[in-house]
Amino acid sequence: MITVKEGDKAPAFSGKNQEGEKIALSDYKGKKLVLYFYPEDDTPTCTIQACNLRDNFSLLKQKGFEILGVSPNDEKSHKKFEEKYTLPFNLLADPDHKVIDKYGVWGEKQLYGRKYMGLHRTTFIIDEKGVVRKVFLRPRNKQHAEEIIKAWEQL
């Protein structure tokens, strides 16, 4: 169950990116952050979403956004994913679900009638003051950058 809602202060976190460098929410203070959670590196839907953000990276940067992807994969997996698709943004490794649990994006899912636990693909737009301004519960993976920009302009 998603625990962080629009208007909430974004929960603080830190972890390591694909380079093994420490990344924290505080690194983005004074910037708009697209914090997107995705289930797994190099799977079809996750790749479509990451590549949409990559392909629109300069436009998002121009609009003042930073991007940070988070999944349960480890640093090594993230590094391979970043290199394979030339991703220009950080990917936070969260195999222990510390960040995932803070944002409440892990929970029961269903596929072909089978229930299982997994990560709910979710994006949070966090403003310069650290406040969650928009939550996408079902991001449109092929048009994710466009929906981020449109949503921000409508705030």
pLDDT by residue, tens only, the chain of 155 residues? 788 999 999 999 999 999 999 999 999 999 999 999 999 999 999 999 999 999 999 999 999 999 999 999 999 999 999 999 999 999 999 999 999 999 999 999 988 999 999 999 999 999 999 999 999 998 999 999 999 999 999 99
The CATH fold assigned to 34-142 is: Glutaredoxin (3.40.30)
List the structure tokens of 126: 């966090």
pLDDT of residue 1: 73
> Three-state DSSP class for 65?
strand
Task: Look at residue 2 in the predicted model and tell me its pLDDT.
Answer: 86
Residue 106: per-residue pLDDT:
96
Distance CA 130, CA 119 (A): 23
User: What's the token pair of residue 100?
Assistant: 């995932």
Give the pLDDT confidence score for residue 92 in this predicted structure: 98
The catalytic residues are 46
- Residues in contact with 128: Cβ distance below 8 Å, sequence separation at least 6, in sequence order: 29, 30, 31, 32
The residues spanned by each domain of the chain are 34-142
How buried is 151 (Cβ within 10 angstroms: 0-12 exposed, 13-18 middle, 19+ buried)? middle
Q: Do 69 and 15 touch, CB atoms closer than 8 A?
A: no
CA atoms of 32 and 126, how far apart (whole Å): 6
pLDDT at 11: 98
Tell me the pTM: 0.96
